Amino acid sequence: MNPNIPDPTKAGAVAGAGSVSGRRRRKAGGLQRPEGPPLVISQLSLPGTDSDARERRRGSADMARLLIAQTCADLEEAARIVQCGRAVRSASGVVLKRSSDGYVYASGLVTCGSPWSCLSCSYKIRAKRARHIAQAVAAHLASGGGVLFGTFTMSHDRSEPLEGLWQILSSGWAHMTAGRQWIDFKQAFDLVGSIKSVEVTHGGNGWHPHLHVLFFVGAPMNDFDREDDYRAFRRDLRERWIHWFRTKQGRNVSQEFGTRFDPVKADDSAKVGVYCTKVGYELAMADTKVGRGEGQRHPFAIAHDAAHYGDKADVMLLREWIVGSKRKRSIQWSGAQIKAYVSVEADKSDHELAQEEQVGDESLLVLDRDLWRQIINRPDGARAGFIRIFESGGDCFDALYYLAEHGITAELTEDGPLAMLRLNDPNPNNQSRRIDHVPTNHAN
């Protein structure tokens, strides 16, 4: 762009409301989709996760769950989180399964369905959402449409509680997408739908909730295609966002950083599947970041730090987070056309996605309820190490020795189609046929 030519997306540009009405007449003929063959979308698959990363995530999930049980048991909102992955749904026990990519997991457990406070459920929910989003983006681009990735932020300070800030953010978006002005906006830019994700971090200025939104438009908009529309689209949304916070909330929103819009590119059909997956992954998985970082921390990083360093301030933040995020949906779809790209998946609740089990995965063995409780109740991350055995090619006998090293005496029986590991039963009249047994004092 020529630096001597003013950018209409900067401060001082004409307000968005008037520019929308001025473009209505262009809609009479409709926007023309680009000519040429449709894009060929390559395989949509999430980035691979190695076994070490999986074990760290499982260990972090177990530590966070134990921490919540110890410090948040008085909170009604924490009850299901504490039981998630611990309580067994089936009287027959827990079935260990392996997916096609080598991921081993325990099925038949109670799930809390929280994408906010439970790392295990969050990953399952957001991984599925990421695939759905990538599928919708890829399908829309293949049909000749355009997609823009928008971010919306607001000012805040550390004295403000999370729940109040979240409500203000939600009200701001409700204002953006309501009334005749929004209808005119959608018609002017051929906006057919959107996918909205809420991301929350915490830093020096307190809680920082903000929005990431994918906008699906009839044809690509960027600095080369429909350049005037692209600039007007950004300007209109930015001005409406800033105006609402200034007039209704008395908050200043940065002209430069309050909103941001980036086109999702589709100029290389060989790479668009990978790129769409990346977009879906970034939109859906933002809040699953774990570990101590600088500046802004995600809630799972706060839980991680609270568990590892015992900071009471982090525990209080975690309590506030569990209460404030309760019953909030992580990702919301709008628009029948883009929902149709993924059939019924877009309308499934977070809890439904958390409960779903992959069809066709290989069943490895069964663990009885008592043994599972022994494994999951240990504070040393025994569950993560136990599952790692099977991901790294180990078998039931390796698992027996691993449990013995952790002070858990177990036995292997064959009472059904799958081998079963159970706690050692001292009752000599037990009818189960014992195959092998490793006492703890022989573990080494």
For residue 117, the enclosing domain spans 52-128+287-328+348-394
293, 389: one domain:
yes
Among 357, 377, 394, residue at a domain's last position: 394
Q: Rounded CA gap, 206 and 166, in Å? A: 12
Q: What is the mean pLDDT of the chain?
A: 79
Domain contains 338: no
Residue 74 has pLDDT above 80, yes or no: yes
Closest of 147, 192, 129, 193 to residue 330, by C-alpha: 129
- Structurally, the chain folds into a number of domains equal to 2
For residue 211, the tally of other CB atoms under 10 A from its CB is 20
423, 372: one domain:
no
Q: Which of 139-143, 182-186, 353-357 has the highest mean pLDDT?
A: 182-186
Q: Rounded CA gap, 237 and 151, in Å? A: 11
Take residue 375 and report the two structure tokens written for it.
């494994």
384, 442: one domain:
no
352, 407: one domain:
no
Q: Which of 198-202, 265-269, 438-442 has the highest mean pLDDT?
A: 198-202
Domain contains 177: no
Residue 357 has pLDDT above 80, yes or no: no
405, 390: one domain:
no
356, 441: one domain:
no
Residue 212 has pLDDT above 70, yes or no: yes
Lowest mean pLDDT among 81-90, 163-172, 318-327: 81-90
Confidence of residue 219 (pLDDT cuts 50, 70, 90): very high
Residue 247 has pLDDT above 80, yes or no: yes
Domain contains 356: yes
Domain contains 189: no
Domain contains 141: no
364, 422: one domain:
no
Task: Please give the sequence-ordered ranges of beta strands (E in DSSP) within 219-330, or none if there are none.
Answer: 259-264
Domain contains 34: no
Domain contains 277: no
Cβ-count burial 115-137 (b if 16+ within 10 Å, e if not): bbbbbbbbbbbbbbbbbbbbbbb
